[in-house]
Chain A
Amino acid sequence: MAEATQELLTTADGRPLKAALAAAQSRAKRRAFFLVLPLLLFIILTFLVPIGYMLKRSFEHDGFASSAPALVAWFGENRGFDPADPPEEAYAALVEDLARMQVEKTTGMAGTRINYSVPGSISMFKKGAREAKNLTPPFRDSLIAIDPEWASPALWRGMASASHVYTTEFYLVASDMKLNDHGWARGEDKERIYLYLFFKTFVISGIITVLCLLLAFPVSHLLATLPMAKSSLLMIFVLLPFWTSLLVRTSAWIALLQEQGVVNDLLVGLGLVSDEGRLTMMYNMTGTIVAMTHVLLPFMILPLYSVMRVIPPSYARAARSLGATSWTTFRRVYMPQTLPGIAAGSLLVFILAVGYYITPALVGGADGQLISNLISFHMNKSNWSLAAAIAGMLLAAILALYWLYDRLIGIDRLKLG
């Protein structure tokens, strides 16, 4: 019986229907995919490949490996050497390399590489390279005569590790690890700048997210419950900042908040603040938080609004008619229905805040800088591998949040305006 039915189900030209359907479906699949393909290739070439290249750079630095061939060869042959007491031949190779660095002018490059894990070694390299060609055996003693640090186990560990082009050291450095005489260890508290800045970036982003939520909630509610004509008009207040250049908004905040700015003048004029006691609201953390809250507020209002718009008002009325107070109605009936909007807006604002660069760079002063600004700082100092490693860590955090966003809300539900 079953066989008979299967034979019946064929297309007009006699092919089995199942196969024909599968063929048609895979043709449709291919067609859809070919439409996306050009953009996919473009994004892979101009977005994925550069980021992959950056990640490769974060594991790569040949500053020492390329300029100290004798020592690299020696390290290659003597993997298990004791960094606390390297033999004379290692010192001989080191002096040979230092002399070569002086001739080829690669001292800075090599010294910089070691300097990441063993701070202060760049000046030793410069001094050592200058003297190298005048040194006589035994090289160990003559190097130590220049600087006793040449016998430091940390330095020898650092050089052994730097003799490889590929390394995870930059991630260790970006996690505030330092190379000491016994290996990698946590740096001292006051030297822990990187993880502290990551932590600070997340805390400030959290504060901005909460501020945005507090400001956005009543406004979105008002926009969602007003008649369409009025809310469209008020929506301009949200959309105009959204469409206005970020630099315009940032310079506007500078004009408003700086010491000789409009807000301070107003406060002095009203007699709330004395002329000498003008508030410092710009070029510090306050400036960063205020300006970024303003910049990111529309990203909170828009998703909240689109969720609140479709909440039927009859639920709240039903709750009231059943005897709930207005507070209970809000807390137990209205608020839970807005949760998808709260989640969407908060995650979006948080993700955007964590990676923010321009506003902190312009209004942050010394203490309002975030992790992006540190990446830019190291890029300008030509510490490319370190900048790439910090960027790699930031990217990992962002991707985790992005995954969470996709899981909770779904990226295809992202809307603009």
Chain B
Amino acid sequence: MALPTYASPLERAWYYTYLVICGVVFLFLIAPILIVIPLSFNAEPYFTFTPKMLTLDPEGYSLRWYDTLLTLGHPTPDAVRDSSWWSTVWERATWVQAAKNSFWVGLWATVLATTLGTIAALGLSRPEMPYRRLIMALLISPMIVPIIIIAVGMSFFFAKACVAPDSAIGAIFGVFLSDKGCLANSYLGVIVAHAVLGIPFVIITVTATLTGFDQSLIRAAHSLGANPRTTFFKVIMPLILPGIISGALFAFVTSFDEVVAVLFIAGPAQQTIPRQMFNGIREAISPAILSVATILVIVSVLLLAMVELLRRRSERLRGVTPR
């Protein structure tokens, strides 16, 4: 909004105040995220800039907090860093284990949420869908209902959701469940919980993409002799793919960032990065947390860039179709 030429001096003053206010809000939004990056290179165990850091003295900066990410939980942190040392890091280091857990849980939760969510979104966007409003409200509700309520409900229910290890179901699913054959304290339990939390995001993004989708294309494909599978993979999928991928990214980030459900339903084996951070902040807070935070900020910058590219591609694609 440029200032019109007829603006009075008072309006001019207000306009510049307004710009300053906006600047302050942008600063408020971004400063906390940017501040963790230099702080994570602190040479001292403080959460603030030391005088040495302020004078840009190289001695004030170090990679020691990044190093603790590798050595925490390592049986011989000070040994020579040969290949066996590094393989121990891969097998034993606490943060590396947490990262692996977060990644796998996030991946499977995303696959589950995206598959089920995309198919459901296709049904929801059809004009004939019965009870659409009610079902939509139910499917979005994991995003609205406080996570603590979901976590409490799941912790009660998953402790009871058990199969006998020697039964037929136990033989198939036993490896995914806890030692007692329950969903509680198991990877499957955490994956299911995270999938539930990711589903609203998939539904929202995919139905949003489908609102610009020309339903007559489906009829056209059918009339040209395509079966439903071909229609989906050759006609629908390429057009809504940006929506699916950004929904999947949302689902992945939701899982990757989720800590409350993990705290309530996971066992000690399912240590994830957010849980490790949560415990770290609660107990002895050290700049090691900030070095993890820095890595996560870089990850989110990459994800954001990806989503933006997808969104633009989707808008371009939709620009071609009528409506």
Contacts and interface: CB of A to CB of B under 8 A. Distances in A.
Interface in B285-304: 285, 289-290, 292-293, 296-297, 300-301, 303-304
Contacts of A362: 278, 281-282
Interface residues of B, number: 95
B146 A355 contact: yes
Given A218-B18, A236-B304, A36 B201 contact: no
B64 interface: no
A34 B148 contact: no
Contacts of B111: none
Contacts of A29: 128-130
Best-surrounded residue of B141, B144, B300 (most CB of chain A within 10 A): B144
A243 B36 contact: no
A243 B304 contact: yes
A351 B4 CA distance: 39
Contact of B145 (A38, A256, A398): A398
Interface in B103-132: 116-117, 119-120, 122-124, 126, 128-130
B193 interface: yes
B163 interface: no
Interface string B5-25: 000000100100011011001
Best-surrounded residue of A34, A241, A297, A405 (most CB of chain B within 10 A): A241
Best-surrounded residue of A52, A298, A326, A416 (most CB of chain B within 10 A): A416
Given A255-B35, A416-B250, A384 B149 contact: no
Contacts of B32: 249, 252-253, 256, 294
A270 interface: no
A112 interface: no
Nearest to A238: B29
Contacts of B282: 361-362
Interface in A396-416: 398, 402, 405-406, 411-412, 414-416
Contacts of B31: 256
Determine chain A's interface SS by DSSP, over half rule.
helix
Interface string A32-48: 11111011101100111
A388 interface: yes
A251 B135 contact: no
Interface in A259-290: 260-262, 265
A372 B138 contact: no
B116 A39 contact: yes
Contact of A391 (B149, B207, B208): B149
A218 B19 CA distance: 9
Given A255-B48, A379-B155, A34 B145 contact: no
Interface stretch (A80-88, A90-98, A170-178, A219-227): A219-227
Contacts of B204: 414-416
A215 B140 CA distance: 27
B244 interface: no
A148 interface: no
A412 B136 contact: yes
Best-surrounded residue of A52, A298, A411 (most CB of chain B within 10 A): A411
A244 interface: yes
Interface string A225-259: 11000000010111111011111111111111010
A50 interface: yes
Contact of A246 (B120, B257, B289): B257
Contacts of A51: 145, 149-150, 153
A409 to B, nearest CB: 12
Determine chain B's interface SS by DSSP, over half rule.
helix
B85 interface: no
A28 B128 contact: yes
A42 B116 contact: yes
A50 B157 contact: yes
A108 to B, nearest CB: 20
B277 interface: yes
A375 B22 contact: no
Given A31-B126, A376-B148, 19 more contacts: A36-B120, A38-B120, A39-B117, A39-B199, A47-B153, A51-B150, A54-B153, A218-B18, A218-B21, A222-B18, A241-B30, A245-B300, A248-B292, A253-B32, A255-B36, A297-B28, A355-B148, A379-B264, A398-B149
11 contacts: A40-B139, A43-B139, A50-B158, A51-B150, A234-B26, A243-B307, A248-B300, A251-B290, A372-B146, A372-B148, A416-B204
Interface of A: 25, 28-29, 31-36, 38-40, 42-43, 46-54, 57, 215-216, 218-219, 221-222, 225-226, 234, 236-241, 243-256, 258, 260-262, 265, 294, 297-298, 313, 320, 326, 351, 354-358, 361-362, 372, 375-376, 379, 384, 387-388, 391, 394-395, 398, 402, 405-406, 411-412, 414-417
Interface of B: 1, 4, 11, 14, 18-19, 21-22, 25-26, 28-33, 35-36, 39, 46-49, 116-117, 119-120, 122-124, 126, 128-130, 133, 135-142, 144-150, 152-158, 160, 192-193, 195-196, 199, 201, 204-205, 207-208, 246, 250, 253, 256-257, 259-260, 264, 274, 277-278, 281-282, 285, 289-290, 292-293, 296-297, 300-301, 303-304, 307-308, 311
